[in-house]
Amino acid sequence: MNKIIFVIFFGILMSSFSVKPDKIIERQGLVTFFSYTTAENIEAKNSQVLSIVDFSTNEIAISMLMNAFEFKKSLMYQHFNESYIESDLYPKATFEGKIIDFDKSFKGTQTKVVKGILTIRNITKAIEIKTTITNNNDTYILTGDFDITIKDFEIKIPPIVAPNIAEIISTKFRFEYQPYEK
Amino acid sequence: MKKRYYFLATFILILFVTIFFLNRKSIINVSKATTEIIIDARLLTENFITDEKKANNHYKNKVIEIKGTIKAINFKNNKHTILLYGSSDENHTIICDMNINLKNNQNQVLVDNEVIVKGICKGFLNDVIVLNYILINKKTNE
């Protein structure tokens, strides 16, 4: 009887050490977008993207400051913020969605679809993103890419520079999460 | 006829020179820029938490000097980044990304150092975001 009690007690004790966090957070996520045209290739990176994943619901939220995208040319930075995105009026882009059929206990790499709403310039669009999720000793890394059509978010490009900006922008992301302790 | 060609050639030349110099215009040189605001890291963070809109009006896109203590240092995304303690509950920090042109002894900062950094405040997510920071002063805690 004593042995049984001991085993049960030991089991409870060990399980308390292996509790996974309910939420994980990334404060320095990387989002990169590329515009490819015959006239000019443009790349911009944002290295301070915030993302939180809630394991209890498999929900994911992403938020980024548009004025934190960095360009090689400062003139492009100005055009992007002042004319295309109007970041003074619309400072953030967000994504709220869900990772479909996500198994957080799976070790290694799995590919899942993330469905949700992308909001840029206060304009929302439902999107689905194929995402690679790697669980390496309970450190989760999410990577993926998707396209953004600038017309969908009413981004107006002046005709004089239209040949320099692609109509479809390629976007990549990488988030490496830590436990979110509040 | 010749006059027209000269005029057109001059106009095109001026246009190209203008475009060339506009493209070469550099991003704000933080080390040479005038500091607009000097503030403590905790106060800056609390201001954003309390009223983000008001804090954005006050700090966003400004060159600010922040006095704080280093909570963490990392090299994520190939960038030298320091996180300063922000809110009293330590859930919110100030994320400072280093100026990419820096060559000097910035890498000698350590966790728990008290520092003064100067950079451009971009706004707030869960943390205050500061880009292109340079180190103004460093004091080791004894």
pLDDT digits (tens, 9 = 90+) for A14-23: 555 556 678 9
- Percent of chain A at pLDDT exceeding 90: 73
B91/A contact by beta carbon, under 8 A: yes
**DSSP secondary structure letters along A60-84:** EEEEEEGGG-EESSHHHHHHIIIII
What confidence tens digit (pLDDT) does each residue in A155-178 have?
988 888 888 899 999 999 999 999
What confidence tens digit (pLDDT) does each residue in B35-77 have?
999 999 999 999 999 999 999 999 999 999 999 999 999 999 9
> How far is the C-alpha of A42 from the C-alpha of A153, rounded, in Å?
19
A180/B contact by beta carbon, under 8 A: no
The predicted structure's pLDDT at residue B119: 96
What confidence tens digit (pLDDT) does each residue in A55-96 have?
999 999 999 999 999 999 888 999 999 999 999 999 999 999
Q: What's the N-to-C CA distance of chain B in angstroms?
A: 80
Facing A28 at nearest CB: one of B25, B76, B122:
B76
> How far is the C-alpha of A139 from the C-alpha of A133, rounded, in Å?
10
Res. B95: pLDDT tops 80: yes
Instruction: Please report where in the chains the tokens 């990549």 appear, as a residue.
Output: A172
* Cα B56–Cα B45–Cα B61 angle in degrees, nearest 5: 35
Which of B60, B129, B133 best tests the A interface by mutation, with the highest count of A CBs <10 A? B129
Q: Does B61 sit within 8 Å of A28, measured CB to CB?
A: no
pTM score, whole prediction: 0.84
Res. B99: pLDDT tops 80: no
Q: At residue B53, what are phi and psi to the nearest 5 degrees?
A: -65, -45
Q: Does A25 sit within 8 Å of B122, measured CB to CB?
A: no
> How far is the C-alpha of A27 from the C-alpha of B127, rounded, in Å?
8
* Chain B neighbors of A48, CB-CB under 8 A: 95, 97, 122, 125, 127, 129, 131
What confidence tens digit (pLDDT) does each residue in B76-92 have?
998 899 999 998 888 99
The predicted structure's pLDDT at residue B19: 56
Long-range contacts of A84-87 (CB under 8 A, 24+ apart): A84/A150, A84/A155, A84/A156, A84/A157, A84/A165, A85/A120, A85/A121, A85/A155, A86/A121
Which of B24, B125, B126, B130 best tests the A interface by mutation, with the highest count of A CBs <10 A? B125
Q: What's the N-to-C CA distance of chain A in angstroms?
A: 41
Structure tokens at A169: 């922008």
Q: Does B123 sit within 8 Å of A176, measured CB to CB?
A: no
* Chain A neighbors of B26, CB-CB under 8 A: 74
